[in-house]
Structure 1
Amino acid sequence: MKKRKNVLMAFALMLFATLSAAAQTKQEEVKIKTSAVCKMCKATIEKSLAYEKGIKEATLDVPSQIVTVTFNPTKTNAARIKKAINETGYDADQLPADARAYDRLDDCCKKDKGIHEN
């Protein structure tokens, strides 16, 4: 009987720990206007954000220039995500791209080229 009680207690503790961990991994979503103009920009931004701590998913819609980012708010926030986009060479909302990073972008990714297919 005592052994069964210990097993039930251990199970209850594991269940509580699992539920607590699940509650703490709440995700948030932010939409950020970028200066991306092509599919190469899409690949560059999505790849760079994939390496950022706390980001679960980043998807750029080129025609609207909006990147939608799903992230863990205990590990990052919208300001850090915008900074990562800036450091990749793109504007993020009203924050201008890092000049050195922008200069390193391929010519087709420069914002003066306008939105295009390539």
Structure 2
Amino acid sequence: MKKIIGFVVLGFLMSFGAKAQSFASYDNVVSIKTSAICKMCKDRIERDLSLTKGVEKAELNLDDKVVTVAYNAKKTDAAKIKTAITKIGYDADEVVADQKAHDRLPDCCQKTAVPHDD
């Protein structure tokens, strides 16, 4: 029984350590200012970018609305990542969000919405 509990605790600690991995270990990293507002926006951007060809890791900081993306330069580049963000429905630096994608976002996630903590 002690071994099982030990393995569970070890697994938890290992998963926490993997989550805390910094972007310093990646060769190609870009930071992009977005129009994200809430946790739903964060979840959507991180999930959709993780499905984008060449993206290795994506994390959105809601305090400054900047998404940091690690990517494989053989498969994608910063411009393609910005385009992917706009196709999700959000601005990406100077590139304006795709209007149809933006209109499909929940009302609380659209640019005109008041920032909130959800």
**TM tier relative to shorter chain:** 0.7 to 0.9
Specify the alignment match of 2:83 in structure 1. 83
**Deviation digits for residues 50-69 of structure 1, max 9, x if unmatched?**
11111110000112000000
Report the counterpart of residue 74 of structure 1 in structure 2: 74
How do 1:14-29 residues align onto structure 2 when only pairs under 5 Å count? 27-29=27-29
Partner residue in 2 for 1:17: none
SS, match of residue 112 in structure 1: coil
Matched, 1:44 2:44: yes
Contact 1:63 1:115 in 2 (8 A): no
Higher helix share: 1
What residue in structure 2 maps to residue 59 of structure 1?
Answer: 59
Amino acid at match of 1:52: T
Deviation at 1:115, TM superposition (A): 2.5
What is the CA RMSD across the aligned residues, in angstroms? 1.0
Residue type of the alignment partner of 2:75: K
Shift in Å, 1:114 = 3.4
With normalisation by structure 2, the TM-score equals 0.76
Q: Flag structure 1 segments of 5+ consecutive residues without an equivalent.
A: 1-25
Per the alignment, residue 35 of structure 2 pairs with 35
Larger radius of gyration: 1
Preserved contact between residue 86 and residue 98 of structure 1 (Cα < 8 Å): yes
Mind listing any 5+ residue stretches in structure 2 that lack a counterpart?
A: 1-25
Give the TM-score normalised by structure 1.
0.76
Aligned length: 93
Structure 1 residues 30, 60: CA separation in 2 closer, same or farther (over 3 Å shift)? same
Shift of 1:27: 2.6
Residue 95 of structure 2 aligns to a residue whose secondary structure is coil
Say if 2:95 is the partner of 1:95: yes
Give percent identity, aligned residues only. 49
